[in-house]
Amino acid sequence: FGFVREVESLGINYGQVANNLPAPEKVLELLRSLKVTKARIYDTNPQVLSAFANSNVEIIVTVENDMLATLTDPNQSLQWVSTRIRPFFPATRITGIAVGNEVFTGDDNTLVTYLVPAMVSIHAALVRLGLDQYIHVSTPNSLAVLQESFPPSAGSFRPELNVIMLQFLQFLAATRGPFWINAYPYFAYKDSPNKIPIDYVLFNPNSGMVDPNTKLHYDNMLYAQVDAVIIAMAKMGYGGIEVRVSETGWPSRGDATEIGANLQNAAIYNHNLMRRQYLNEGTPLRPSMKLEIYVFALFNEDMKPGPTSERNYGLFQPDGTMAYNVGLTALSTTSSSSSSSTSSASISLTSNSTKMKLKRIIDSDHLMIEKDTYTNVQVTM
């Protein structure tokens, strides 16, 4: 895939749980060729941060879960920011610090008590160093933080998280940080393939669903999941916090029990997702606010534990070749910047029940896409 112009609301997760990945400098070249200007890493790897210096790529770094207890100490947080962040900024465009990953729903319950204090300490360190206006602090959350997510108007957090969730939302409101959610419609489909229409989870044309309470129409599950989080926050008095998707994707391979994990579905999901991002869409609940999404992931990672799907979320193989074609051919840096010729192409992606055609005309300045039309009804919260 590749875009003629940069897509402001699209980022990609650059995971590194593999022993065969290209050097960070090569990764930067790949991102530039794709005109992707946002990336997230799962640590503060100095090689990556150095390689991304003086580029136009914004990067979110991560505090590993096992560091949370230490970083509740303000002095330790100041040292961490001073050594892990400050030496690289602003040459490297660090825009966010993800404190932990899916802490609220992890196996180690003690980490939950450390999360908000660590975030407070890290933010205080950023303030002390004059970096808080450039770098936000938040944490990515699993969709499992929700007790209810369907319909979106029923969105609510798990009761046992209410106390700590309130503290977290207070922090985000005070610092204007986003609520990050890892949302994977694939998991919902895998668990209930006979109940959930495949086209609804793949962004393919479908009749969708109407929330009986808000009367909003949803033509895909991802937007419904995001709006469920927005409504859950609103019920706790924090309806104004921005929700962003820190991870979403679809595996191109899976075990026999992982229904739907295949090349065809992965290509359709990511292709349709990127098409919607190119249009800077919002969700039905917030149609005028473009939804920022980070695709998972840039590469297949051969050392990730778990089922086969875990090692096959990448858009690319470690050697830089596409794991599958999402419909738009990657443009090299040279050709995208120097070519003024016009080309056209028509591609077809087929699911079990629909056939969708996307026509594109590419020149040096424009990408025109036939867009499915649907109606959004806005409600105010």
Q: Which residues form the catalytic set?
A: 102, 247
How far is 371 from 60, CA to CA, in rounded Å? 31
List, edge to edge, every strand of the sheet that includes 343-350.
Answer: 343-350, 355-362, 367-369
Q: Name the residue with tokens 């051969």.
A: 302
How far is 255 from 312, CA to CA, in rounded Å? 11
Pick from 138, 374, 114: nearest CA to 243: 138
Asked if 363 and 1 touch (Cβ cutoff 8 Å), the reply is no
Spell out the residues 6+ positions from residue 39 whose beta carbon is closer than 8 angstroms to its own.
11, 12, 13, 14, 31, 52, 57, 58, 59, 60, 298
Asked if 135 and 97 touch (Cβ cutoff 8 Å), the reply is yes
Three-state DSSP class for residue 35: coil
How far is 30 from 43, CA to CA, in rounded Å? 20
Phi/psi for 28 (5° steps) reads -60, -40
Q: Please name the amino acid found at residue 314.
A: G
Phi/psi for 224 (5° steps) reads -65, -40
DSSP 316: B
SS3 content of the chain, % helix, strand, coil (to 5): 35, 20, 50
Q: Which long-range contacts (CB under 8 A, 24 or more apart) does 253-256 make?
A: 253/308, 253/309, 253/311, 253/312, 254/307, 254/308, 254/309, 254/312, 255/307, 255/308, 255/309
DSSP 19: S
